[in-house]
Structure 1
Amino acid sequence: MTSSSRASRGDRQGETKPSRTSAESSHVINNLDLCAQMSTKAGSEVLFEKVGNAGVITLNRPKALNALNLTMIRHIYPQLKNWDKDSETDLVIIKGAGEKAFCAGGDIRAVTEAGKAGDSLAQDFFREEYILNNTIGTYQKPYVALIDGITMGGILKEQFEGVGLSVHGRFRVATEKTLFAMPETGIGLFPDVGGGYFLPRLQGKLGLFLALTGFRLKGRDIQRVGVATHFVQSDKIVSLEKDLIDLKSPSNSDVAQLLDSYQEQSSLDAEKPFVLQEQTEAIDRLFSAGSVEEIMENLKRDGSAFALKQTETLAKMSPTSLKLTFRQIQEGARMSLQEVLVMEYRLSQACMRGHDFYEGVRAVLIDKDQSPKWKPSTLSGVSEQAIEECFSSLGERDLKL
């Protein structure tokens, strides 16, 4: 998987002194800067430390699996901008507190309630989250995500997100505890946070398969497919972090060399084959199609146990989400990360205007009956015009990066 261009952006705010931002920044950025100052307080949801010449971000909601919310986004963004500008910060490390998760998501209920009420949070969360994703994707200094635990783009209990804080960074370190999935089609959403950029860049049709089915990858397999850049055993992560911090003015190649050496020392599960090794050819063949309907036909015609299982999985997903996701992956393969995020913001707002997102949240998170009533309920009921409208420009409300 290739990362996005690291071209420098011209909208950098502030110095490491947290009291000042650039003249061009609005009161929103000033508020974000204030959040960054506040975040150093004990018990904050996100913690910032300077350890030597390393900036260390710790997502600090272990009981909530370090789920991301808008307040945390508003903490992280200005701190990243400040550290990128700071001559005494050489690299950034991001990790999760506790032993269970790197980051399993965001406050989905708050977004749901806001969307129903027409509250601005439904716009603000996605807009500011995607701006943060782009900042990570274009970061000039080495950015290392230690993904020791759950990281999901979709929902887990009451969370979604997590992937966007790691996958667009230059270095992503998975361990045997790492769980990765993008199961948004099961909640009436789509694999956002730049999923339309990195998923189609995985080998063959694997990205499309993961996007449509929400299939989970674990441990070393996450590095094998390219979602992570390295695999390091979890008992070596503390030592790795210390060695990263001890690097003196490291270049990206210096960081890569250190991570490579740790990966070479990590033999756990090295002999285990890739979980989808025997299905790789089938995935490429069955998911090579011009529409979701064609994929379903391919699966039914194939008739293998694997194909029938995928048919059952896809039948449970939102038909609208499946069609949105299929086109998102097609379009994203030809786009830059920035273009993908603009597209995905349009899709996020279409989902906020629609039915299936709210119904998916109800069925999976609130009533937990696992029986969403999708509208339309069939793929044939989702018109091309309805999908086209989801991709249409929002005019002045489009995401600006």
Structure 2
Amino acid sequence: MAAPQIKGNIVDSDQVLVEEKGCASVLTLNRPRQLNALSSEMILKMLKLFTAYEEDPTVKLLIMKGKGRAFCAGGDVSAVARSATEGHWTNGANFFWNEYILNYIIATYRKPQVSILNGIVMGGGAGVSIHGRFRVATEKSVFAMPETALGLFPDVGASYFLSRLPGYFGEFVGLTGARLEGAEMLACGLATHFVPSTRLDLLEESLVRAESSDPFTICRIIDQFSERMPVREKSAYNRMDIIDRCFSKRTTEEILAALEQEAVHGSDEWILASIASLKKASPISLKITLRSIREGRTQQIGQCLIREYRWEPPRLDLIEDDMVDKYFSKVDDAVWEDLKLPGRHNSNFLSKL
């Protein structure tokens, strides 16, 4: 199996804490003041750890969690943005290169990964958890992909996992940046289990004692602590008929018009919030996001990551299709290098969702 091509020097960092507990390795994201936003150092350290653990027969299970009130609120793109404004675009390219390689390794990993999503999970935080086999939500979980409001688009393989949510729920989540609670994450498949936060310590102890890498064994253990959590009555997930009717439209303009038509006949809070979010979001981001999710439905995780790696008009109707096309084409730059994914045993793995 080919080793991943990493861009940058790996340094030891206390931003990711490592505990060896029996046959399990527990990784704790440790930037609580920054809501555990992923820095270059964190990504590089996790790349090193995941690569080493996969070949280490003494490590059977990986458990990931975050310190404080967030699992991970995304990638720390402030440094990337600063370097880009100074003309150093390669720093940002290297950051995303390493992040996407990590996402791909997690998506094709041969050993079980249990992510404890006890808090905020956004952007890059989804990339290091949703691609893993087990995702445990709690009553404190808050999930979102807020990129369109920031002039970006949901990346880290989001076009893969959002496109595989029920109906057109992925388009709804990706375009509006809607926040989902733990129960909603479980209902739509972003989470595999719901465990009350008060039982997480006992869950971790049981997983460590099992000393097993068998996914069925791990699943049975988590099942023992899991609860069925009903989705709130006013949740958008309970109105999938409206979601599918509106977000199945071909263009973002048609989606917005369909939502406004629904608002005429009713005043569901989530519909009005969705309209407001779409009107505030970056127009080009909305169009790229919609096309990215639609293309993701027919692509494997590796294809999605390579495409997402290739990346301002004021109104939707001023954006021509050829303006969007360029974000989905190969980059015409002699210095540019397309994302190169490492060879993996599970390279044809379809989905852990």
TM over 0.5: yes
Which runs of no fewer than 5 residues in structure 2 stay unpaired?
A: 342-353
Distance 1:309 1:257 in 2: 39
Name 1:325's counterpart in structure 2.
Answer: 289
Relative to the length of structure 2, the TM-score reads: 0.90
CA deviation profile, 1:226-271 (whole Å, cap 9, x unmatched): 00111000000011011111112330110011111111xx36x447
Helix, strand or coil: the match of 2:310?
helix
Helix, strand or coil: the match of 1:89?
coil
Q: How does 1:74-223 map to 2 (within 5 A)?
A: 74-98=44-68, 100-119=69-88, 120-153=90-123, 161-223=124-186
Q: Please point out which of 24, 32, 37 is paired with 1:62.
A: 32
Which runs of no fewer than 5 residues in structure 1 stay unpaired?
A: 1-9, 14-24, 154-160, 348-374
Amino acid at match of 1:323: K
Name 2:313's counterpart in structure 1.
Answer: 376
Following superposition, the deviation at residue 148 of structure 1 comes to 0.7
- Number of aligned residue pairs: 333
Distance 1:166 1:338 in 2: 16
Name 1:245's counterpart in structure 2.
Answer: 208
Amino acid at match of 2:145: M
Q: Is the 8 A contact 2:127 2:156 kept in 1?
A: yes
Q: Is the 8 A contact 1:221 1:274 kept in 2?
A: no
Cα distance, 1:274–1:127 mapped onto 2, change above 3 Å: farther
CA deviation profile, 1:205-237 (whole Å, cap 9, x unmatched): 100000000110012211111001110000000
Helix, strand or coil: the match of 1:58?
strand
Name 1:258's counterpart in structure 2.
Answer: 221
Distance 1:69 1:204 in 2: 34
Cα distance, 1:309–1:105 mapped onto 2, change above 3 Å: closer
Cα distance, 1:81–1:203 mapped onto 2, change above 3 Å: same
Q: Which moved more, 1:289-298 or 1:384-393?
A: 289-298
Cα distance, 1:278–1:219 mapped onto 2, change above 3 Å: closer
Cα distance, 1:271–1:330 mapped onto 2, change above 3 Å: closer
Helix, strand or coil: the match of 1:331?
helix
Q: How does 1:31-70 map to 2 (within 5 A)?
A: 31-32=9-10, 35=11, 38-39=12-13, 44-70=14-40
Q: Is the 8 A contact 1:187 1:318 kept in 2?
A: yes
Following superposition, the deviation at residue 305 of structure 1 comes to 2.4
Distance 2:91 2:329 in 1: 21
Q: Is the 8 A contact 1:150 1:180 kept in 2?
A: yes
CA deviation profile, 1:154-180 (whole Å, cap 9, x unmatched): xxxxxxx21111000000001100100
Q: Is the 8 A contact 1:187 1:317 kept in 2?
A: yes
Q: Does 1:397 align with 2:337?
A: yes
Distance 1:239 1:149 in 2: 18
CA deviation profile, 1:18-68 (whole Å, cap 9, x unmatched): xxxxxxx67x57x33xx2xx23xxxx1111121111111110111211111
Q: Percent identity?
A: 41
Amino acid at match of 1:110: A
CA deviation profile, 1:254-307 (whole Å, cap 9, x unmatched): 0011111111xx36x447547224421101001111111111222233323244
Q: Please point out which of 261, 284, 301 is paired with 1:301.
A: 261
Amino acid at match of 1:195: A
Following superposition, the deviation at residue 122 of structure 1 comes to 1.1
CA deviation profile, 1:297-318 (whole Å, cap 9, x unmatched): 2223332324444222211110
Amino acid at match of 2:257: E
Q: Is the 8 A contact 2:32 2:67 kept in 1?
A: yes
Q: Does 1:286 align with 2:226?
A: no
Distance 2:87 2:130 in 1: 31
Distance 2:105 2:203 in 1: 25
Name 2:274's counterpart in structure 1.
Answer: 310
Following superposition, the deviation at residue 199 of structure 1 comes to 0.3
Helix, strand or coil: the match of 2:59?
coil
Amino acid at match of 2:192: T
- Superposed CA RMSD in Å reads 1.7
Q: Is the 8 A contact 1:183 1:191 kept in 2?
A: yes
Amino acid at match of 1:198: F
Q: Is the 8 A contact 1:224 1:274 kept in 2?
A: no
Distance 1:330 1:191 in 2: 13
